[in-house]
Homo-oligomer: A and B are copies of this chain.
């Protein structure tokens, strides 16, 4: 890590701290303590929230939160009710008055955002927004996790639905998914992994047994909004580690010629193109990597 990179990040943090401080100040100027405002904000943003989650999210002591809520109830901003499925737990929702207050905070955030864009010309505005999107994606990519999950689980199905839809659109021939093979993509000689960022599934990949000591990588997919951040590379790394643990000595995979970005990825991770090893009608290239 270079010193000038660290300095740039620090300058950036310092600059943004001021901007963010300005927002907190304007929250306070609405005449409500900051922690009360934060409760209204969280409850409003999610359309109601369990106290347990709220406490975790704001890092508040349970006694403190309890008192905050009583104050907000007394002022008519929130209503707290038992949860029907668990009588110990409770849930806050905003009243009509609370929603008004939430809207006011919402307008303040909006105003801050506008004030950052307002002094810029159209071209510079586009550049600012693009750079913010880039930073957001990169920072969120830092929370990337890749873990084994069932290939017929909810997250897996969510990813695969989008994967198939994308293949259907990109392949010159269209695409029809073959028979369900979730059972193959599971231990002891296979696996399915889901990549998540902040809890949201953003990618997946499968591994199955192809032949003795040979695994096959399948269904590697990254959400379009998260491409270029190393998600697919992390998925491959995970699958390769799993394959090694399961005793595979080499990995193979096939790919369609329209998926050009995948070629670069496989080449970069040490896969070498080999001769056709299957009769997949959608495949144009075949790769292999020794583990």
Residues of chain A whose beta carbon lies under 8 Å from any beta carbon of chain B: 1, 5-17, 19-20, 23, 25, 59, 109-110, 112-114, 116-121, 124-129, 131-136, 138-142, 144, 229-230
* Identical chains in the assembly: 2
Residues of B within 8 A of A116 (CB): 9, 139, 142
Q: Which residues of B contact A9 (CB under 8 A)?
A: 113, 116-117, 128-129, 132
Give the chain B neighbours of A131 by CB distance below 8 A. Answer: 131-132, 134-135, 138
Give Cα A186–Cα B126 distance, bound, in whole angstroms. Answer: 37
| Chain B neighbourhood of A15, CB < 8 A | 136, 139-140
Contacting pair B119 A8 (CB below 8 A): no
| Shortest Cβ-Cβ A-B pairs, 10 listed | A119-B142, A9-B113, A12-B132, A131-B131, A131-B134, A128-B138, A6-B113, A5-B129, A10-B113, A131-B135
Q: List residues of chain B with CB within 8 A of the CB of A17.
A: 20, 23
Whole-angstrom distance from the CB of A1 to the nearest CB of chain B?
A: 5
